[in-house]
Structure 1
Amino acid sequence: MTKRILVVGTRQSQLALTQTGQVIASLEKLCQEHGLPFAFEIRKILTKGDRILDVTLSKVGGKGLFVKEIEQAMLDKEIDLAVHSMKDMPSELPEGLINGAIPIRVEPRDALISREGLSLEELPHGAKVGTSSLRRSSQLRAIRPDLRLESLRGNIDSRLRKLETEGFDAIILAAAGLKRMGWEDRITSLLPVDVCLPAVGQGALGLECREDDAELRHLLSLYNDRVTSLTVTAERRFLAVLNGGCQVPIGAYAVWNGMNGGNSPAGAGSITLTGMVGDPDGSLILKETLTGEDPASLGEKVANKLILQGADRILAAARE
């Protein structure tokens, strides 16, 4: 049987290549189990977000900083499939492309990596903390306004090096990336979600493909994790209503509570979603938590609740 070679597009970072390799290994196993005739080839693609490293993400602006060039390659049929960190994906995909699978989520929380092994509470007054994220800095300023928060860009390995070379007392990274790289031992502590709500989709991967590729969509359906897909859908709908991107402080995290015996859409059971919009300086943090059965409807309700509290004004000011 002639195998179809699927070209998998990915960013060039060590983390992106590692998680793409892990995904391909899982897909190869599914191909063997189900007798599917696919082989895989990796194509590295440089994105705008990877080219511009001397400016904070909020100032680079625009959505899809880490995915746009990859999506264009897919639309041009240069690649068949892309492996993204879900938190990098805009809430709306280009026409003709879909998320074919969202595999099981790993750790969604943010990790504190401290040079002296200190927790967030133990960091000295005025400690220098590195992060590239307005979402993180907004929430950290709300509880530790004394911290000196400074921009930290680059790949995960270069950020860890900067902890040692650029005088940071601590840095904040997504725990999922450290876990996928096998570097969990670098984590000093995980930030509780009530202290620092994660980015939308953090800890999850998105496998994007062309909508009309029925063969590939069948394979990806076997890899999709239903619970992760439902909870991330709620978070992404929340983001879409707020029209958010890297330049505004937005966080969301959904938890699946299991089946409740009702006639829930798609047998979703109950989902609890917490959404956050914060002022960049941490002076105002708006949060709302609701439980519902339909993920998209739940995301809309949480977003609209925050809009009633003034989230739209905070986001408009942050964008300006």
Structure 2
Amino acid sequence: MNRLTIGTRKSQLALVQTHAMRDALLAAHPHLTIELEHITTKGDAILDRPLAAIGDKGLFVSEIEDAMRSGKVDLAVHSAKDLPSILAPDMTIAAYPERADPRDVLVGAEGRTLADLAHGAKVGTSSPRRAAQLRNLRPDLTIIDIRGNVDTRLRKLDEGQYEAIVLAAAGLQRLGLLDRVTQFFDPYEMTPAVSQGILGIEARASDQRVAELLKVLDHAESRATAEAEKAFLATIGGGCQVAVGAFATYRAGQLHLIGMIGALDGRLVRGELTGAASEAQTLGANLAQQLLDQGGRDLL
């Protein structure tokens, strides 16, 4: 059984991420033969509506999980922020590789930063989380939904449909497009999505062979940060349609977690908490409860 099949979405970013993990697996296990299976998810197929209007959980995941259940594929490489905060019981994240840059970035026309944008400028984002924080920073901006892969969004910007767009730094980094960035947002002003910049390698919970092969890719610090952030989101509830962000950093066995709950009108509550990395999920749940009690519940 030296063969693995990886399920992947067809976007350029998904393929770049999958190829990187395939190459890392082959470097660690040269005896393997690895094939890719391209799968179209609901989130890929429906491009004429905002993500929040399509549904809640697993928009970029469900079809790939079905392929794993049927035995068609053995594992999948996801952007961990696309994964539901609570996985189906028959699935597991067998590896969280080391995190890339977790920040959000602005890509502004003609090199503009957020401060450079004119009153009423059109800014594209498909994320309620980004929209809430943009309105908190610049209530005068016109926030417009934007769908499509990274290349499509950059093309729409270049065509003049928007004055700026907000994207994840990690995606641009993996695509070699960081030169398009005009501003990196500090996590205290634009708190990232839960697990942003982390890849999650999903497999069947019962598949010990695949779990053993993937151990080499797991990065303990990134796993701890992902678990804290996902526990934060799970405690609050909701998926693509809620304006929620969290970002944890690891240092000497401790996690420092920033969390944010927002409303689309720009109101938000933000807080932070530090605790043992070994209690990552408890830390995330505690910060979520703290923010819910401080007014976050009224913003959802």
TM-score (norm 1): 0.91
Which residue of the other structure, out of 281, 285, 292, is the alignment partner of 2:275?
292
Q: 1:232 and 1:63 mapped to 2: Cα distance?
A: 17
Q: Classify the secondary structure of the residue corresponding to 2:111.
A: coil
Aligned residue for 2:16? 18
Letter in 1 for 2:26: E
Q: 1:244 and 1:271 mapped to 2: Cα distance?
A: 24
Tell me the CA shift for residue 310 of structure 1. 2.8
Aligned residue for 2:158? 164
Tell me, yes or no, if structure 1 residue 197 matches structure 2 residue 191: yes
Structure 2 unmatched ranges of 5 or more = none
Q: 1:301 and 1:97 mapped to 2: Cα distance?
A: 25
Which residue of the other structure, out of 278, 281, 285, is the alignment partner of 2:262?
278
Q: Is the 8 A contact 2:225 2:249 kept in 1?
A: yes
Tell me the CA shift for residue 303 of structure 1. 0.6
Tell me the CA shift for residue 311 of structure 1. 2.0
Aligned residue for 2:177? 183
1:11-90 mapped onto 2 (5 Å cutoff): 11-32=9-30, 37-90=31-84
Q: 2:213 and 2:86 mapped to 1: Cα distance?
A: 23
Q: 2:274 and 2:169 mapped to 1: Cα distance?
A: 26
Q: 1:67 and 1:312 mapped to 2: Cα distance?
A: 28
Q: Classify the secondary structure of the residue corresponding to 1:87.
A: helix
- Aligned residue pair count: 298
Q: 1:196 and 1:148 mapped to 2: Cα distance?
A: 17
Tell me the CA shift for residue 62 of structure 1. 1.6
Q: 2:66 and 2:287 mapped to 1: Cα distance?
A: 32
Q: Classify the secondary structure of the residue corresponding to 2:14.
A: helix
Q: Is the 8 A contact 2:56 2:240 kept in 1?
A: yes
Structure 1 unmatched ranges of 5 or more = 259-268, 316-320
Which residue of the other structure, out of 3, 6, 14, is the alignment partner of 2:4?
6
Tell me the CA shift for residue 166 of structure 1. 4.1
Tell me the CA shift for residue 309 of structure 1. 1.6
Runs of 4+ in 1 over 6 A off after TM superposition: none
Q: 2:285 and 2:291 mapped to 1: Cα distance?
A: 10
Aligned residue for 1:255? 249
Q: Classify the secondary structure of the residue corresponding to 2:29.
A: helix
Q: 1:156 and 1:99 mapped to 2: Cα distance?
A: 25
Q: 1:96 and 1:250 mapped to 2: Cα distance?
A: 26
Q: Is the 8 A contact 2:122 2:143 kept in 1?
A: yes
Letter in 2 for 1:155: N
Aligned residue for 2:125? 131
Which deviations, in whole Å up to 9, do the C-alpha atoms of 1:134-189 show, x marking residues without a partner?
A: 00010010110011110110011000000012431111111111000111111111
Q: Classify the secondary structure of the residue corresponding to 1:309.
A: helix
Q: Is the 8 A contact 2:268 2:296 kept in 1?
A: no
Tell me the CA shift for residue 313 of structure 1. 3.0
Letter in 2 for 1:176: A
Which deviations, in whole Å up to 9, do the C-alpha atoms of 1:199-223 show, x marking residues without a partner?
A: 0000000000011211211111111
Which deviations, in whole Å up to 9, do the C-alpha atoms of 1:70-103 show, x marking residues without a partner?
A: 0111111110000000000001111211000000
| RMSD, aligned CA | 1.0
Letter in 1 for 2:225: T
Letter in 1 for 2:9: R
Tell me, yes or no, if structure 1 residue 303 matches structure 2 residue 288: yes
Q: 2:122 and 2:53 mapped to 1: Cα distance?
A: 21
Q: 2:159 and 2:33 mapped to 1: Cα distance?
A: 42
Letter in 2 for 1:141: R
Q: Classify the secondary structure of the residue corresponding to 2:22.
A: helix
Q: 1:167 and 1:20 mapped to 2: Cα distance?
A: 31
Q: 1:144 and 1:312 mapped to 2: Cα distance?
A: 23
TM-score (norm 2): 0.97
Tell me the CA shift for residue 107 of structure 1. 0.6
